């Protein structure tokens, strides 16, 4: 799962110059050895792929995502009267803990990418065919399982154990979503409620991602 997360966050620079063509972005992901990234290109479609590429390129990878979430959480916590909860950033985790954390973040990104409701059975079949053709049947089964799940932010939130991880889940979700559609905005708001994000922390995360989306 850590490898899949790295692929999803590492393909951004290659997608910035694809002119919003998800097919080209898909092939770019394959060329770079990022089969999960190619699947994400298909999930997002032509409209969103370039914006996603810009945001994840600005983040710089899975370790950087964890570091950014940790900083946002610490900055918010410094303004609170209660002591900080003990947390462990992604880049300090190892073994099963690292894999579980990465799997949760990938699930959050996949869920966010389908929040506008555009992934139908034909789109799922296209993604499955692509992954199977690339010899990634295990990845195909995993992604198909995620696409078959009801879109339930509360189910994601039940796997979150602390507020720093909640920050990271919300941050990862924002990378894979655009808030110009009411269904996407509604999904994010419900996710924030399920994660019990403080309004100020939620706003801070959203401002950070908006800055990432700005052209360099």
Residue 200's pLDDT is 96
Exposure pattern of 17-37 as b/e (b: 16+ CB <10 Å)?
ebeeebebbbebbbeeebbbb
Asked whether 45 and 118 are in contact (CB, 8 A), the reply is: yes
Decide: residue 124, CB within 10 A, 0-12 exposed, 13-18 middle, 19+ buried.
middle
pLDDT over 70 (residue 88): no
> Mean per-residue pLDDT for 139-161?
89
Kindly state the percentage of the chain with pLDDT values over 90.
31
Exposure pattern of 57-95 as b/e (b: 16+ CB <10 Å)?
bbbebbeebbbbbbebbeebbeeeeeeeeebebbeebee
Measured distance CA(172)–CA(105) in Å, rounded: 6
Two tokens, residue 210: 């908006």
Asked whether 1 and 109 are in contact (CB, 8 A), the reply is: no
Residue 28's pLDDT is 47
Residue 26's pLDDT is 47
Residue 30's pLDDT is 43
Measured distance CA(117)–CA(96) in Å, rounded: 32
The predicted-structure confidence for 156-193, as pLDDT tens digits, reads as follows 999 999 999 999 999 999 998 888 788 999 999 999 99
Q: For residue 198, what pLDDT band results from cuts at 50, 70 and 90? A: very high
Asked whether 99 and 2 are in contact (CB, 8 A), the reply is: yes
pLDDT over 70 (residue 92): no
Measured distance CA(129)–CA(137) in Å, rounded: 9
The predicted-structure confidence for 27-61, as pLDDT tens digits, reads as follows 444 444 456 667 777 777 656 666 777 787 788 77
Listed ranges 15-29, 79-93, 116-130, 176-190; the one with the highest mean pLDDT:
176-190
Name the nearest CA neighbour of 37 among 58, 59, 22. 22
Two tokens, residue 183: 């269904």
pLDDT over 50 (residue 211): yes
Q: Which of 66 and 58 is assigned the larger pLDDT?
A: 66
pLDDT over 80 (residue 109): yes
Residue 20's pLDDT is 47
Residue 159's pLDDT is 95
> Mean per-residue pLDDT for 74-84?
81
> Mean per-residue pLDDT for 148-153?
92
């Amino acid at each position: 799962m850590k490898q899949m997360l790295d692929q999803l966050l590492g393909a951004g620079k290659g997608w910035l110059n694809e002119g919003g063509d998800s097919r080209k972005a898909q092939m770019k992901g394959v060329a770079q050895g990022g089969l999960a990234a190619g699947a994400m290109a298909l999930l997002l479609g032509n409209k969103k792929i370039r914006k996603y590429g810009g945001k994840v390129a600005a983040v710089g990878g899975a370790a950087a995502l964890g570091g950014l979430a940790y900083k946002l959480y610490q900055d918010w916590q410094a303004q609170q009267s209660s002591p900080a909860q003990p947390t462990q950033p992604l880049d300090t985790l190892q073994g099963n803990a690292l894999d579980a954390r990465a799997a949760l973040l990938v699930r959050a990104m996949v869920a966010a990418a389908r929040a506008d409701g555009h992934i139908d059975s034909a789109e799922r079949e296209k993604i499955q065919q692509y992954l199977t053709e690339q010899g990634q049947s295990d990845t195909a089964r995993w992604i198909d399982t995620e696409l078959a799940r009801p879109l339930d932010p509360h189910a994601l939130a039940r796997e979150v154990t602390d507020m720093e991880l909640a920050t990271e889940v919300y941050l990862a979700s924002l990378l894979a979503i655009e808030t110009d559609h009411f269904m996407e905005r509604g999904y994010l708001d419900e996710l924030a409620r399920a994660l019990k994000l403080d309004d100020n922390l939620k706003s801070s995360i959203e401002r950070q991602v908006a800055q990432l989306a700005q052209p360099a």
